[in-house]
Amino acid sequence: MRSFGRFFRRAHSLDVSPRLSVEPVLISLISVAVGWALAQGTAFTKDWWAARKLLAGLITELEDIEAQLQRVIVMHSRQLQVYANKGIEPAVSIPIENMFFRQYFKEAFAYLNREQRLSYQLIHSTLDTFNKKNDAIGALLEEFHNQHTTAPDEQRLLATINVWGDQVIAAYKTAMDVRWHIAYHLRNPKRPVFDINGPMHESYLKFEQELDDEVKLIIEKAKGIKREDFERIYDPKSFAAKHTAG
């Protein structure tokens, strides 16, 4: 009986040792797993926050561009009126910048779906086209000024007015085009679908037709405006409605 008791005590002591040595290993493994999970969670949160800032920045820039286009459209509307009266206005609108898109679109690319990517690229490429058209107007005016100052020519003046008018019409339509696409994107920020022969396509073609009619109407109605009215920098009538509303 004594020998059996000693054997039992020895076996019992051998059983306890392994259990005690495993516990620190489990604690270490759990600590590593928790640390890894926290690190992954932190990385995910940072990535989510960065993506959110990029996407918000792209939308904010569209809103800024839309606000600036209003100024440009008013300016070109006036120039269409001047052109309707066989005149020329020696002024060019300043470029509309899209610095955020240029700098961060590559970083935001992976967070955008296909419709969003195509929409952003279309909007900003059309905006670049608009800025180039304005540059062309500026170059034409500068060339005409240099030639007309040194050697005035009535035929050259009429030819330049016609070319200038065509360029103003093109710039005006392009500015309106950019504004339409921005408005469409802001109404459908998650999925600005560009369908062929679908609802969006039909809406865009209607807009293009209305734009052509609008340009013709501006030019036609402007023919009754006196030339001296264009020389006035400030017209209180333009602000009367806003003052009344305020």
Locus of tokens 């920020």: 189
Burial class (CB in 10 A: 0-12, 13-18, 19+), 128: middle
Residue 193 is which amino acid? V
Alpha helices of 151-226 — where are they, by DSSP H?
Answer: 154-187, 199-222
What is the Cα–Cα distance from 205 to 104, expressed in whole angstroms? 32
Do residues 61 and 100 touch, judged by C-beta distance below 8 A? Answer: yes
pLDDT, residue 25, reads: 60
Per-domain residue ranges of the chain:
2-239
CA 88 to chain centre: 31
Do residues 166 and 88 touch, judged by C-beta distance below 8 A? Answer: no
CA 87 to chain centre: 34
**DSSP assigned state of 1:** -
pLDDT, residue 148, reads: 78
Residue 153 is which amino acid? D
pLDDT digits (tens, 9 = 90+) for 3-23: 544 544 544 444 545 554 556
The HSE-up count of residue 188 (CA atoms within 13 Å, CB side) is 15
Query: In percent, how much of the chain has pLDDT > 70?
Result: 74
CA distances from 186 to 110, 207, 208, 244 (A): 20, 17, 19, 31
pLDDT, residue 8, reads: 44
pLDDT digits (tens, 9 = 90+) for 95-129: 999 999 999 999 999 999 999 999 999 999 999 99
